[in-house]
Amino acid sequence: MRTQVGIIGGGPAGLLLSHLLHLEGIESVVLESRSRAYGEGRVRAGLLEQNTVDLLTEAGVGERLVREGLPHDGVQFTFDGRYHRIDMREHTGRRVTIYGQQEVVKDLIAARLAAGGAIVFEAEAREIGGLDTERPYVRYVEGGVEKTLECDYIAGCDGFHGVARGAIPASVLQTFDRIFPFAWLGMLIAAEPPSEELIYSHHPEGFALFSMRAPKVTRAYLQVEPDDDVKNWPAERIWEALRKRLGQHEGLTVHEGELMQVGITPMRSFVTEPMKHGRMFLAGDAAHIVPPTGAKGMNLAIADISVLARAFVAHYKRRDSSQFETYGPECLRRIWRAEHFSWWMTTMLHPLMDASPFDKKRQIAELDTVMNSRAGRTFLAENYAGLPLAPWR
């Protein structure tokens, strides 16, 4: 099989790239190691920046997002027994929208299949080669049979554990990594969330985040030790911790319901440079990971794709390949700003169990400074709602 752009990974990044290329008449094939049902059913990230919503809408895959998404004009914080709200619309003119990653995947798969797009599910990429030639290839296994996809270029959108990053020689690849000394216990709860907007809670016993996936579905997180086990968190302990860490604030209540999913997520920051090697480009989690505190993971991946799609359009439609060389540097400027913001939010909101009394007081002072300073609120709102995104074509 041969195509113009071979895309490894059928998550939001790979599917969106395939769709944007299709809109410009550029052929692609998406290889996805998992089944369609897995991609459409796995609950993951759910906060979309205004730029992401605008891009998906412009690309013609935002109808259900606009109809069913939950727009938020602000974000809330509790700490030291106090409550604060930052109005993003007031400070930036932008908002965020809650719409699950699995819903974005559903919309993109439907759009690609309706257009006759090629998505090969349960196709595990095993080898990438020919990156320094005009005929790079991906060898993959589908139904127990090894096959080869030849293409002009390869987009590695296959996540942190995929094969794409490993195809870059170790002598070229640079990685920057930070592992945080805590993890998140995540719960999907069949109950109304405490508020219509996200609540970030700093508490001496640990951080908590109250989000949602629907008006009657709560997504909540608790800071735990990185080596903790779900078995240590029976329902009674979860409800007690959620109530304690939220605190007593007028109008905010933890509503109990069925714990539909419970799992532990490690916290890390990770960046790979370069994002281009020969005729292959890395995008999304294949190139970078951010701690979820800043809600940047899927948004960063989509920002990568906006830049990469523009480079492919310039190459195939105008015979201008110069943007291939600027793809990585342009993306990395945004990535490192997002890494900083996510690190800042994480370290500001998560208490360290071995912190000194000085550090505990300093952390409260930092939160107080941000919440009670217009400059601090604006900085947080600008980064949270999303930095400007250049047009993709």
Q: Residue 133 above 90 pLDDT?
A: yes
Cβ neighbors of 154 (< 8 A, separation 6 or more) are 5, 6, 7, 8, 128, 131, 136, 138, 164, 279, 280, 281
Q: Residue 194: inside a domain, yes or no?
A: no
Predicted confidence at residue 43, as pLDDT, reads 78
Predicted confidence at residue 272, as pLDDT, reads 97
Q: Are 259 and 217 in contact (CB under 8 A)?
A: no
Predicted confidence at residue 352, as pLDDT, reads 93
Q: Residue 95 above 80 pLDDT?
A: yes
- The domain containing residue 55 runs over which residues? 2-70+98-177+268-351
Which candidate in 153, 200, 316, 327 is catalytic? Answer: 200
Q: Residue 189 above 90 pLDDT?
A: yes
Cβ neighbors of 348 (< 8 A, separation 6 or more) are 202, 363, 366, 367, 370
Q: Residue 372: inside a domain, yes or no?
A: no
Q: Are 26 and 312 in contact (CB under 8 A)?
A: yes
Which candidate in 203, 288, 296, 350 is catalytic? Answer: 296
Share of residues in the chain with pLDDT > 90 (%)? 97
Predicted confidence at residue 178, as pLDDT, reads 97
Average pLDDT, the chain: 97
Q: Residue 216 above 80 pLDDT?
A: yes
The CATH number of residue 311's host domain is 3.50.50.60
pTM to 2 decimal places: 0.96
Q: Residue 213: inside a domain, yes or no?
A: no
- Tell me which of 37-46, 162-171, 225-234, 257-266 is least confident: 37-46
Q: Are 84 and 76 in contact (CB under 8 A)?
A: yes
Average pLDDT over residues 362-391: 96
Alpha carbon distance 194, 165 (integer Å) = 40
Q: Residue 157: inside a domain, yes or no?
A: yes
Predicted confidence at residue 353, as pLDDT, reads 87
Alpha carbon distance 30, 5 (integer Å) = 9
Predicted confidence at residue 159, as pLDDT, reads 95
**Partners of 124 in beta bridges:** 141
Which candidate in 137, 140, 316, 384 is catalytic? Answer: 384
Share of residues in the chain with pLDDT > 70 (%)? 100
Alpha carbon distances (Å) from 143 to 140, 146, 147? 10, 8, 10
Say how many CA atoms lie within 13 Å of 384 toward its Cβ: 27
Which candidate in 12, 193, 291, 292 is catalytic? Answer: 292
Average pLDDT over residues 143-158: 98
State yes or no: is 317 an active-site residue: no
Q: How confident is the model at residue 310 (pLDDT cuts 50, 70, 90)?
A: very high
What totals of helices (H) and strands (E) does the chain contain, helices first? Answer: 11, 19
Q: Residue 59: inside a domain, yes or no?
A: yes
Cβ neighbors of 250 (< 8 A, separation 6 or more) are none
Predicted confidence at residue 390, as pLDDT, reads 86
Which candidate in 19, 72, 277, 288 is catalytic? Answer: 72
Tens digit of each residue's pLDDT (9 = 90 or more) over 114-128: 999 999 999 999 999
State yes or no: is 296 an active-site residue: yes
Predicted confidence at residue 278, as pLDDT, reads 98
How many structural domains is the chain composed of? 1
Q: How confident is the model at residue 5 (pLDDT cuts 50, 70, 90)?
A: very high
